[in-house]
Structure 1
């Protein structure tokens, strides 16, 4: 059995006491990790902290998510965080956040993006944006109900629905066909889709643990890791480097899930994501009805509170 136990995470209260100077240094480090990974992924350009203009813009210092926190993900150079009642976006590596009114009540759980379209799924259905910030509920042929998991690469999107199982679109989400009715109903969060091989998928299955497919979701097998997985992410520059976060623990793998080692994450972490260059790991913790977001550049040995 793989050892997925971990040492206790540093208390959230202690982490929140990082000095403003340290926060600026970490934000600058995140900004320095500018990247140009294929597929139109943009750059994180951290501001190093709030200023008067940021305050006036209405950017959220601590994003509102509601009673649950479901997702933290990096898409097209943006960070998204979402939960039961709302979602927010950051374009500066998590230093400042802007609430997304169009996702109020959308219950964001899964997300995917191409260079032109961003999709977010939740209990009410599927939401679409062409600018990454203004979302509208999809209707007509591209609509899906009760979307618990979502991911994609290029024009190929995969969505897990509570009633219909795993759905697939090869035209950027305009149309969907059923791929698998036997598995997918209990997926949650971001479905990882390998940009080098869109048939290779990894998903968190609330019923079966971390699972993977090499044939576009037709068949699946277990991938180990901690029990009760809530979110999985990989280094976009090395998809064999995985991090999975569960209800009680997190773990990291450097060999595509063959073996796992404990990863110390902030207490209460339910979602993690890598920056596009793989140098920064972000973690999100629900704090009341808001989200606290942390960053680590040393695989979880130390964390800095961003908001």
Structure 2
């Protein structure tokens, strides 16, 4: 029988026409596929909003911040304006859920709109944060170099506790809490030459020691300011008289999280794979249910209006909700930011794919089936491979051990690394770029300037360009020609960085650019450049003599990355909060860039030139994703 028994001869031209139209559909009909690494994300901190108990924030290791509006059952990314994805602690103003603080390795961030947008108010790494219970403008922070107080929302800061240790001795504040019913009463635990717990009764102006030793966790009774719980390596300790006397109420050596219910009646302590609860001031403890992953629990918080319900974050397993009454656990990580990728770099010989992340540097040689971590101890922002030598690669970010910028080079495919120790200004490296023709030459942009190496990273020389270098690209047609975005300006160099000239002054009224975040050069037309800030896209076809301001796609905000398609300068791509988009008509219209990436935060887009039509995206939540074919 004929395979098309009902097909009439006259319908054949119509069928052929339909098939041709389907074949001509843009590549965005294809779907993005996640390549991993597989990870539900590590939640470092959890904070409920007392004034709106169904709202809870999760600070993650590498994934920034996620927000839940249903008590932690489902989550959505809340990273607009957040440039550092390691969120160690969070605090919500008790009287208004809109005011939130996030402590990160890159400083303290403030939100006044319930996490929709974030503003950085300090640049020093913050280890602890406490919100004043009465005034939204007052906040206290702990750092690796002391404690500070702000009375104006983070605009200015006053040091606290300077008399605790000599000024020349740095100390690490591990925990900082404010008594909810007595806002002038603060407790702080710090580690250093004189480790211990200190109490202040005057808002941090004066302090008195109440305990010796290295304490890591503190929580104060919400109703009785003199009742303080503290954790050290020996277990949980309780004082009912403001520190005059102490009782060890739980002897465990590996307690990683501590939380108290809003009524003060239940105390919870987390050990790997377990949560213990006491309802009698620590006299007796019982394990709540079973079934938690056997991982260290970093984040834990009790729902303000339900003392029997809490959220916990086991390492690499997202979040779980527990009912302390029934002892039942429920995995509640839907939408929670998982593995965060900040940049992606395909090897120029097709041998593998490299991923920069807050957890280090990873590589896969089998399209994501397996990943190997090649570098740890640094929160990495950028990675680039030398086009003529796939074994030479550069990566940079923040040094998690020593603080300050981290900059590495490997000439053996990640087997060994040269670390640039010292000499680099700024908090962290934001961008690295390898020379297209000389594997020994590379550039690194930091938060304070631009550097160049001509010996594979052994030494770095400061170039005459200062400020926050958010992006740097090398013209593949003329490697001596560089472009760098610094604050609201685009700079151009025609001599390998020896001299620089402004090509776009974003502050002029006709452009009105904010902090520029990225720049792209079209490989097929070096006269075509594109620059982005958080909201707009700026396009030139004459190497910066004239500029056109484009309104970006409405469904992609907080732009993070921009690039041209390798074979067509008319195709421009942009990624950011909400996904990725592309235009083929100079920004008049924008189309979603593939299916399956909508709603995600895209940090970086990169074509694989060894596999034409293949596009990678580094995302906050799903690691590396691939679109093939792409525009």
* Structures share fold, TM-score greater than 0.5: yes
Q: Distance in 1 between matches of 2:86 and 2:215?
A: 20
Partners of 1:227 and 1:81 in 2: how far apart?
28
State the aligned residue count: 255
Contact kept? 1:110, 1:147, Cα under 8 Å: no
Task: Name the counterpart of 2:145.
Answer: 124
Q: Partners in 1 of 2:92 and 2:302 — Cα distance?
A: 7
1:242 maps to which residue? 267
Query: Following TM superposition, by how much is the alpha carbon of 1:108 offset from its aligned partner in structure 2, in angstroms?
Result: 1.1
Residue 204 (1) aligns with residue 223 (2): no
Match of 2:81 among 53, 58, 81: 58
Q: 1:210 Cα shift?
A: 0.8
- Measure how far apart 1:225 and its partner are: 5.9
As a proportion of its length, which structure holds more helix? 1
Q: Note closer, same or farther for the CA distance 1:108–1:169 as it changes in structure 2 (3 Å cut).
A: same
Query: In the superposition, relative to structure 1, how do residues 49 and 254 fare at CA in structure 2: closer, same or farther (>3 Å)?
Result: same
Relative to structure 1, the CA distance from residue 164 to residue 31 in structure 2 (aligned partners, 3 Å threshold; closer, same or farther) is closer
Deviation digits for residues 28-64 of structure 1 (CA, Å, limit 9, x no counterpart)? xx96648xxxxxxxxx98387659xx77x4368xx72
Give the structure-2-normalised TM-score.
0.34
RMSD: 4.2
State which of 113, 122, 143 in structure 1 corresponds to 2:132. 113
**Shift in Å, 1:100:** 5.9
Q: Deviations over 1:252-295 (max 9, x none)?
A: 223332222224556432231223324652334565xxxx8635
Structure 1, gaps ≥5 residues long: 1-12, 17-26, 35-43
Which structure has the larger Rg over C-alpha atoms? 2
Flag the 1:247–1:92 CA change in 2: closer, same or farther, 3 A. farther
Q: Which residue of 1 aligns with 2:521?
A: none
What is aligned with 2:120?
A: 101
In the alignment, is the contact (CA less than 8 A) between 1:148 and 1:160 conserved in 2?
A: yes
Maintained 8 Å contact 1:167/1:176 = no
Give the Cα separation in 1 of the matches to 2:68 and 2:112: 7
Shift of the alpha carbon at 1:157? 0.6
| Cα drift, residue 222 of structure 1 | 0.6
Aligned-residue offset at 1:159: 1.4
**1:96-123 superposed Cα distances (whole Å, 9 cap, x missing partner):** 6766633544241463533222212132
8 A Cα contact 2:148 2:160, kept in partner: no
- 1 or 2 for the larger relative contact order (CA 8 Å, sep ≥6)? 1
Identify unmatched segments of 5+ residues in structure 2. Answer: 1-37, 42-47, 56-66, 165-170, 338-631
CA distance in 2, matches of 1:108, 1:127: 12
**Greater strand percent: which structure?**
2
* Partner SS for 2:330: coil
Tell me if the contact between 1:192 and 1:201 (Cα under 8 Å) persists in the aligned partners. yes
Q: 1:178 corresponds to which residue?
A: 208
Moved more, 194-203 or 164-173: 164-173
What is the CA–CA distance in structure 2 between the aligned matches of 1:92 and 1:86, rounded to whole Å?
19
